[in-house]
Amino acid sequence: GIQVEQSPPDLILQEGANSTLRCNFSDSVNNLQWFHQNPWGQLINLFYIPSGTKQNGRLSATTVATERYSLLYISSSQTTDSGVYFCAVQYSGNTPLVFGKGTRLSVIA
C-alpha cells in the first residue's frame, strides 16, 4: 500500500522561529490533508491540499503532486503551535486516509 513519511520526527523551536515540515508519499494521491493534534488528542484540520499552495494566517502548505511531497510552513511560531502534526493521504475516491507517523513540535517561550 501507499507509504507516507514525515520529517523531522521531532522539532524544538524557540517562540517566534519559522519551520518547515515535510511529507513524502510513495504513490499518486487524490487527497492530502494536514492535521494538528492538540494536547487533548483532537485532530484539527489545517489544510485540504491535494495540489498547489494554500495559506491560513501564519500557516501555509504546498503540495507538489507530481513529485509526491507536501510541505507545511509555520511562521512566527507560538507555544500554542505545540503538538503533533500529521500528514494523511487518500489514493482514490473516498478510501480511508493513510497517515504518516507525525512530527512532534515543541515551541518554547
Partner 1 sequence: GAGVSQSPSNKVTEKGKDVELRCDPISGHTALYWYRQSLGQGLEFLIYFQGNSAPDKSGLPSDRFSAERTGGSVSTLTIQRTQQEDSAVYLCASSLAGSSYNEQFFGPGTRLTVL
Nearest CB to partner 1, comparing residues 58 and 101:
101
39 binds partner 1 (CB under 8 A): no
41 binds partner 1 (CB under 8 A): yes
State the nearest-atom distance from the C-beta of 2 to partner 1, in Å. 12
Contacts of 35 (CB under 8 A, 6+ apart): 43, 44, 45, 46, 85, 86, 87, 88
State the nearest-atom distance from the C-beta of 32 to partner 1, in Å. 10
Phi, psi of 81 (to 5 degrees): -80, -10
Phi, psi of 91 (to 5 degrees): -90, -20
CA distances from residue 49 to 39, 40, 78 in whole angstroms, order as listed: 24, 25, 23
Among 10, 28, 78, 101, binds partner 1 (CB under 8 A): 101
105 binds partner 1 (CB under 8 A): no
98 binds partner 1 (CB under 8 A): yes
42 binds partner 1 (CB under 8 A): yes
Residues facing residue 58 across a β-bridge: none
Contact residues: partner 1, CB under 8 A: 30-31, 33, 35, 40-43, 45, 48, 86, 88, 90, 93-102
